[in-house]
Structure 1
């Protein structure tokens, strides 16, 4: 799937459905490894999307067969490719004592943010395992991990949120989305650091021993991506991410470890990629959902009474989607639904994409049922209600900050 997706991105005349078809084949082979709750979500999305497609057929619409099979294939290829980066960006585990105090808190906060912006959830597990190696993880440490990681969804081109936003807001530009989202992410990090270090709260905080060696590869990759996108703007950004992630990882592994590095690369294909079965099924089903909704709306000739889609409308959409995220609806579902309804109306794709990124960032941080929070709760035995109390107020402030960002962007 990944290789055919790259081929489609490099040569537009090569169709996308072979990559999408292989994605569906992989999903069928791995369906038994997916958790029950995810299977229920997938079935619900397929039923709604399939119903929309049938409605379109019965009302004379043409079935977009290629879209049904391949709507999210580029984004899934990106997720799979980025997963290889953990092979070369995992910090070395050492036995030294963890640094303590406010400065380690700030370093851990920004470290998990920038490391997570490239290797995604792996950063939470890598840093979280080190923090909890000799003592239970505290709620303060869990708060730093969750907020630091979630805020990367506002801007990172390597984050799943960016792929979802670009796929469901056709025409959105990576550079614009990242430039608007990065200050919002920094606001979230600065607010977190200020809040958690007040009144001596960070005195007993044990942080992660961050070093330059941990972060130079993610920084280099982000810089290379921007340069390549500038040099070849016609190549889709997701294709560049895929090619860069796969090739850079293999090159570094060979230079570091020779034949052993190649073996590690192959092992990740055999063992690491199948562990993404949950994301694979979820995003494939979300593609069917978005296509079905768009087909039903087109066939029904519905005209939404939407005179404009500006900052106010985007802010209301953001609030609604974050709210449903808190009650357990994955952002990819609400984003696919909103994209299926709004994208065909010709709204500003960048404004829509920015709204989607902020939804993902705030939603996964606030919701006790998000994959991020469930990982922290299950792996480190952190109480869900405690995390909800700690992040609830933060989410409200970030909604206000996001509204200001949307207003400023719309006014430019």
Structure 2
């Protein structure tokens, strides 16, 4: 019962969020249902994570209280469902795991040596960009036998996966960026972000090969095949086409529909008698496992509402006069630093959006700023969700992982400036 009720509530929240695309009150109902599930799942969090979530929520409540005391009417929709599309999108994407390629041994010859490093890193990236953390299990279970993982093998997973934040609409990074910059141009974000991801992966593969040393000749990797690419490419094409045909529908909403629809279709075709049973089993097992992301996004929404109420009482001048490329790059630096001391990027993004709102920053430039900072912190933040998962599954200390990725962090920070410049010129021309 402890898992069944939250699972049922989160499944209902997905359905209500989809309905909310056409009827706004349904999104608020989804937010209310998700809050109940989040409260029920608090006990699943670690003590430290639970303390952070409760602190953020408490700060949000204090902000709302200060606003009410001074006659400000809080934005209850913001408090209840600010991040609901993001939460429902991530929950909906989780169902894709049911039809993800498993790469069974013997289907393809394992690539070896330098080619194996490149193919495996790219496979982690492609699969992780769509099915998220499940990709790590699929590939690690296939090729890695030694735990704790050595440095080079751990870097394959960390670097390949984290670069997905730069461009993938299926990541929480993209959902958060589009939540706080809904007018951002997705094609620009995906195109420029993919270019940054390719550069990041190239740097990573060179560094990983060096980390292996002479042992790289013995490395047997994961084959990057058409079968592995088929599902991710299908989903990306579906989302992009739907976005072109229905530009008024939020991208998070499109993914909410496309991911489960494709999953159900493939399940019915492959295993029609077991399809419903597998969907229910997945909901019971995997949706409650989202307790960490769920609680963080809920508390971030409440904090944003409280911060907005406080700004109505005590207006704060923006920390800059305009938001151009230099300011965007500076914001990346600040967000990366804050993530190093444990501040989740969704919190930094929400607060930055509130403080910079008077400047009316170009939404695409602001969104790209968030994507870059999120991708950097995923690999280089000692307390990032990715590194915590890698620690728990592969027994490598998160601070050691962050140290191994330090040169990569600096390299991406350098590349961030020209990336933001390209976005600015493509999106808003000389005005940025």
CA distance in 2, matches of 1:30, 1:177: 34
TM-score, with structure 1 as normaliser:
0.95
Aligned 8 A contact 2:123 2:223 in 1: no
CA distance in 2, matches of 1:144, 1:92: 17
Question: Residue 320 of structure 2: SS of its match in structure 1?
Answer: coil
CA distance in 1, matches of 2:39, 2:423: 42
- After superposition, the Cα gap between the structure-2 partners of 1:246 and 1:344, relative to the gap in structure 1 and judged at 3 Å, is farther
Question: Residue 255 of structure 1: SS of its match in structure 2?
Answer: helix
The equivalent residue for 2:67 is 56
- Following TM superposition, by how much is the alpha carbon of 1:383 offset from its aligned partner in structure 2, in angstroms? 4.2
CA distance in 1, matches of 2:26, 2:356: 26
Whether 1:234 and 2:242 are equivalent positions in the alignment is no
The equivalent residue for 2:179 is 167
The equivalent residue for 1:186 is 198
Tell me whether 233-242 or 322-331 shows the greater mean CA deviation.
322-331
- Following TM superposition, by how much is the alpha carbon of 1:98 offset from its aligned partner in structure 2, in angstroms? 4.8
Tell me whether 344-353 or 151-160 shows the greater mean CA deviation.
344-353
The equivalent residue for 1:196 is 208
CA distance in 2, matches of 1:13, 1:66: 10
Per-residue Cα deviation, 1:73-118 (whole angstroms, up to 9, x for no partner): 1110000000000100141432688542000110011111010110
The equivalent residue for 1:26 is 37
- Following TM superposition, by how much is the alpha carbon of 1:155 offset from its aligned partner in structure 2, in angstroms? 0.6
Aligned 8 A contact 1:291 1:340 in 2: no
- Following TM superposition, by how much is the alpha carbon of 1:8 offset from its aligned partner in structure 2, in angstroms? 1.0
- Following TM superposition, by how much is the alpha carbon of 1:30 offset from its aligned partner in structure 2, in angstroms? 1.7
Match of 1:296 among 300, 305, 310: 310
TM-score, with structure 2 as normaliser:
0.90
Match of 1:401 among 409, 412, 415: 415
Question: Residue 113 of structure 1: SS of its match in structure 2?
Answer: helix
Aligned 8 A contact 2:328 2:366 in 1: yes
Per-residue Cα deviation, 1:148-185 (whole angstroms, up to 9, x for no partner): 10000011011111111111224223222222211111
Question: Aligned Cα RMSD in Å?
Answer: 1.9
The equivalent residue for 2:49 is 38
Whether 1:268 and 2:279 are equivalent positions in the alignment is no
Tell me whether 326-335 or 267-276 shows the greater mean CA deviation.
326-335
Whether 1:129 and 2:141 are equivalent positions in the alignment is yes
The equivalent residue for 1:118 is 130
Aligned 8 A contact 1:343 1:349 in 2: no
Per-residue Cα deviation, 1:329-370 (whole angstroms, up to 9, x for no partner): 222222222222223542211111111001110011001221
Whether 1:222 and 2:236 are equivalent positions in the alignment is yes
- Following TM superposition, by how much is the alpha carbon of 1:375 offset from its aligned partner in structure 2, in angstroms? 1.6
Match of 1:108 among 86, 100, 120: 120
CA distance in 2, matches of 1:118, 1:181: 15
Tell me whether 383-392 or 368-377 shows the greater mean CA deviation.
383-392
CA distance in 1, matches of 2:66, 2:399: 42
The equivalent residue for 1:258 is 272
Match of 2:88 among 77, 82, 96: 77
Aligned 8 A contact 2:147 2:394 in 1: no
The count of aligned residue pairs is 411
CA distance in 2, matches of 1:144, 1:336: 31
Match of 1:210 among 215, 224, 234: 224
Q: Which consecutive unaligned segments of at least 5 residues does structure 1 have? A: none
Aligned 8 A contact 1:107 1:210 in 2: yes
Match of 2:382 among 359, 362, 368: 368
CA distance in 1, matches of 2:366, 2:416: 13
Aligned 8 A contact 2:122 2:224 in 1: no
Per-residue Cα deviation, 1:18-52 (whole angstroms, up to 9, x for no partner): 11001111112222112212211111111221122
Whether 1:143 and 2:155 are equivalent positions in the alignment is yes
- After superposition, the Cα gap between the structure-2 partners of 1:394 and 1:233, relative to the gap in structure 1 and judged at 3 Å, is same
Question: Residue 316 of structure 1: SS of its match in structure 2?
Answer: helix
Match of 1:337 among 347, 351, 375: 351
The equivalent residue for 1:89 is 100
- Following TM superposition, by how much is the alpha carbon of 1:136 offset from its aligned partner in structure 2, in angstroms? 5.2
Question: Residue 259 of structure 1: SS of its match in structure 2?
Answer: coil
CA distance in 2, matches of 1:103, 1:359: 29
Tell me whether 73-82 or 136-145 shows the greater mean CA deviation.
136-145
CA distance in 1, matches of 2:20, 2:147: 49
Aligned 8 A contact 2:17 2:85 in 1: yes
Tell me whether 79-88 or 93-102 shows the greater mean CA deviation.
93-102
Aligned 8 A contact 2:318 2:358 in 1: no
Match of 1:65 among 76, 80, 105: 76
